[in-house]
Amino acid sequence: MTFFENMQEAQKIFIELGKSFSIGFVPTMGALHAGHLSLVEKAKTENDKVVVSIFLNPTQFNNEEDLKKYPTHLEKDLGLLSEVGVDFVLLPSFENIYPENYGYRVHEDKNSKILCGKERPGHFDGVLTIVLKLLMISQAHRAYFGEKDYQQLKLIQGLCRAFFIPTEIIPCPIARDEKGLALSSRNQRLSPQGIESARKFAKLLAQSKPLNEIMQDLKNENIQVEYLQEEWHRRFGAVHVENVRLIDNVPI
């Protein structure tokens, strides 16, 4: 693998590379799991070259404690990416990718205000800004995003339409464990008992019941509910298990 810490240098190389090869891109915040690797594998089947970024983006965290507790395992992550045959890894510093110190940012005024956006002010400004930067740096023909962050996916698709970004955004199904729990880096912060509670959340969310009944079922399991809501023909939920915020969604 080739590593880049300087994003200006990386962009110059990818501009030239993209003239001869198709580029697939998978953005991550690290703490990689099988869900991330499934995106990489799909990118490999559809492109000549694959770029992965690892950057724990502070601008999308509205809770400083949440940022501090986010798991980081860089050496392990790089080993996993090497094993699956990634070509390039972007490892920007905050100063390099935000040379203006986040003075310029992307703001969406509708779909970013519901669901996770309602509960996390400024979160999607940070998401959209970093994704725009990474798409411009990687010059990707295709970029891969999991449907677990479905609201994020919708906003990034809208970002590309609004700013005439030629990158094709590829949605990828939610990766789940053998008991239906959506894979997430945050799961690494849960105890075995917390994992079982998180699996109950996933199971209850998928049941064909009214939202108020699911809400009560979750409360009966001592799972703190942030929201349950239906949008875009999907049911969305955010809960807190052992002070860890988890999200999931299912089609309806």
Backbone dihedral angles phi then psi of residue 147, each to the nearest 5 degrees: -80, -5
Catalytic: 36? yes
Cα(247)–Cα(116) distance, rounded to whole angstroms?
Answer: 9
Cα(33)–Cα(215) distance, rounded to whole angstroms?
Answer: 29
Q: Give the active site residue among 33, 36, 123, 141.
A: 36
Residues paired with residue 53 on neighbouring β-strands, in sequence order: 27, 90
User: Regarding beta strands 224-231 and 234-241, do their DSSP bridges make them parallel or antiparallel, or are they unpaired?
Assistant: antiparallel
CA-to-CA separations, 1 to 99, 187, 199, in angstroms, rounded: 26, 28, 36
Cα(181)–Cα(243) distance, rounded to whole angstroms?
Answer: 17
Report yes or no: 239 and 218 within 8 Å, Cβ to Cβ. yes
Count other Cβ atoms within 10 Å, centred on residue 18. Answer: 16
Backbone dihedral angles phi then psi of residue 127, each to the nearest 5 degrees: -65, -50
Residues paired with residue 51 on neighbouring β-strands, in sequence order: 25, 88
Catalytic residues: 36
